[in-house]
Amino acid sequence: MEYTKLGRTGLKVSRLVLGTMNFGPATEEKEAFKIMDAALDAGINFFDTANVYGKSPRQGWTEEIIGRWFAQGGNRREKVVLATKVYNAMGEENDGPNDERGLSAWKIRRHLQASLKRLQTDHVELYQMHHVDPSVTWDELWEVFSTFVYQGTVDYIGASNFAGWNLVQAQAAAKNRPFLGLVSEQHKYNLMCRLPELEVLPAAKELGIGVIAWSPLAGGLLGGNVQKQGEGSRRAKMKDRVGKEADQIQSFVDLAKELGDTPANVALAWILNNPALTGPILGPRTLEQLESSLRATEIKLTEDVLKQLDQIFPGPGGPAPQAYAW
């Protein structure tokens, strides 16, 4: 397994991130335990979750599964760089209007306490804002987040789904305190969604913020699943999502076949090839899916292959404003 520093911090994390969103709704607890054990054995030390995972009305279910896995001992908790998130409303914690979607010191404190209880731990390494809340001032946010850091219940603060200007705004406010501010941004990024190359990736690089890619397989479309489904299956529904991208996906699948690798692993390798990315989030539903994804770290894409991928999935043309001004 390859490791990298998380943004400008000294924290070393695996280039592959274990996403846990399927644990509970799609993956039973016993299988989830096997996946987490196998991830550790493979050298994956970066686990990502969120307080809302588990889906309504079982928000928090995923964190509970992870907590019970930690409770087995064997230094499981000590080996994991744990990341969770806050923003959405939580069914069982609904305290009226203050528990609605968004961020406030009142809500963040209560939701962190609840996450720690479900996770059966006294701290998390990375606490992330699941979305930006423009109605709340950065003075309020950095006050509550810095308190967590000083108390030792959180090591670092991260973001998710922020625009480039949100990152700049957050860091400017943190610098005035002074406070380290954001160390990571979790963003939708894959071969079919390259818009972040315009603003988010350049901003994050300039600010020393590590970028973690969610949906690296575009919800399964880059996994070659469209070509191998049967009528009535879960994968058959993907046909309705493909639309005009069908030719692109087929060209991509053909290229992966020429390379002798799966489309999914080529898509993951493409993200790993980008030095601006900390790594992609894997979302395995089964142990087999996790084990198959490990191959991605061994794939080295040549310049010729990277050019072919650019031809199949053209990006915005580079960072702004050069991409659209010249």
The tens digit of pLDDT for each residue in 266-299 reads: 999 999 999 999 999 999 999 999 999 999 999 9
Q: Rounded to two decimals, what is the model's pTM? A: 0.91
Which residue(s) pair with 63 in the sheet?
A: none
For residues 86-98, b (16+ Cβ closer than 10 Å) or e, as one string? bbbbbeeeeeeee
Pairing of β 3-5 and β 12-14: antiparallel
Does the pLDDT of residue 23 top 90, yes or no?
A: yes
> pLDDT value at position 94?
54
Number of Cβ within 10 Å of residue 60's Cβ equals 24
User: Of 3, 53, 156, 324, which residue is the catalytic one?
Assistant: 53
> pLDDT value at position 27?
95
Distance, in Å, from the CA atom of 194 to the CA atom of 315, rounded to the nearest integer, reads 5
DSSP structural state of residue 190: B
Mean of pLDDT values over 77-94: 87
Q: Over pLDDT 70: what percentage of the chain? A: 92
Does the pLDDT of residue 227 top 60, yes or no?
A: no
At 80, give phi and psi (nearest 5°): -105, 135
Does the pLDDT of residue 93 top 60, yes or no?
A: no
> pLDDT value at position 233?
53
Distance, in Å, from the CA atom of 322 to the CA atom of 326, rounded to the nearest integer, reads 5
How far is CA 78 from its chain centroid?
21
Mean of pLDDT values over 98-113: 90
Check if 3 is active-site.
Answer: no
> pLDDT value at position 176?
93
Does the pLDDT of residue 142 top 50, yes or no?
A: yes
Residue by residue, DSSP assigns 65-88 as HHHHHHTT-TTHHHH-EEEEEE-S
Structure tokens at 149: 């850091």
Mean of pLDDT values over 181-208: 97
Domain 3-223+264-301: which CATH number of 3.40.50.720, 3.30.930.10, 3.20.20.100, 3.40.440.10: 3.20.20.100
> pLDDT value at position 230?
45
Using pLDDT thresholds of 50, 70 and 90, give the confidence band for residue 241.
low
Does the pLDDT of residue 238 top 80, yes or no?
A: no
Mean of pLDDT values over 138-162: 97
Q: Quote the mean pLDDT of the chain.
A: 92
Name residue 170's amino acid: A
> pLDDT value at position 231?
45
Say how many Å lie between the first and final Cα of the chain, rounded: 40
> pLDDT value at position 278?
97
Mean of pLDDT values over 119-127: 98
> pLDDT value at position 90?
85
Pairing of β 17-19 and β 277-282: parallel
Using pLDDT thresholds of 50, 70 and 90, give the confidence band for residue 74.
very high
Does the pLDDT of residue 232 top 60, yes or no?
A: no
**Residue 230 CB contacts under 8 Å (≥ 6 apart), including other chains:** 236
Does the pLDDT of residue 129 top 90, yes or no?
A: yes
Selection from 253, 201, 198, 203 nearest residue 224 by Cα: 253
Using pLDDT thresholds of 50, 70 and 90, give the confidence band for residue 95.
low
Distance, in Å, from the CA atom of 288 to the CA atom of 298, rounded to the nearest integer, reads 18
Which residue(s) pair with 124 in the sheet?
A: 154
